[in-house]
Amino acid sequence: MKKIFSVFILTLFLMLVLAGGIQASERYLFRNDLIDLELLYVDGKLIINNGDQEIALDSAVSASGAKYEKDDLMFWSKGNDGLLEIRGKLVSFSDEKIYDSWQIAAENGVDFRAVGNEPGWHVEIRDDAEVKFVGDYGKTEIQARVNDVWIGPAGDDKIYYIDSPAVKFQVILIKKQYIDTMTGEKLPYQVRIIFPNESYTGGGRFLS
């Protein structure tokens, strides 16, 4: 049932995007009684995040309308009509309210959230004690306890040191404005995620 509702909400989002109701390169979150689903439409891809993983659907050739697909998932839309096919089963759509994903993160106990692009990633911090990083549109996901926190003299800048079983990394918060390269949104903190062989740069803010 949960999977069917995830697919159900996906059709709603794609219909709104393709009809011009949702601006590209913005994150949205749809909610019903069973599941919260965050979505990002950018660079011809649809990124779906159900809280456990992220999936990217690619734009595909269609004789008419717009089509997105990945493996056994396909969505087709033309005008106000939409059709989703998953493993040979078709799912229709109905109206659903749009919620702000930052607000939902706050409601779920997240204190600080940051996002970045190319490839898409986000990080969430709870109580200065737990970090969740999702990178490369869901291909990488790390959730771990914070081992140590450095706080700058003014109390604004922070460095979180994480030593997870998978990898050691740092999350650096700098109190300096960052402009999202996709949406143009201005965020009060620059954020860097430093891994042994790569790093990510984006922007974020405290949610309370």
- Predicted confidence (pLDDT) at residue 22 exceeds the cutoff of 70: no
Q: What's the pTM value of the predicted model, to 2 decimals? A: 0.61
The average pLDDT across 101-107 equals 81
Q: How many CB atoms lie within 10 A of CB 160?
A: 22
- Cis preceding linkage at 165, omega within 30: no
Q: Are 8 and 91 in contact (CB under 8 A)?
A: yes
CATH value of 27-94 in 2.40.128.200, 1.10.10.10, 3.40.640.10, 3.10.20.30: 2.40.128.200
Query: 206 forms bridges with which residues in the sheet?
Result: 112
Give the largest CA-CA distance in the chain. Answer: 60
For 111-136, write each residue's pLDDT tens digit.
999 999 877 889 999 999 999 998 87
Pair of tokens at residue 181:
């390269």
Q: Is 100 helix (H, G, I), strand (E, B) or coil?
A: coil
What per-residue confidence (pLDDT) applies to 123? 94
Q: What's the pLDDT score for residue 35?
A: 53
pLDDT in tens, 138-192: 778 899 999 999 999 999 999 999 998 889 999 999 999 999 877 788 999 999 9
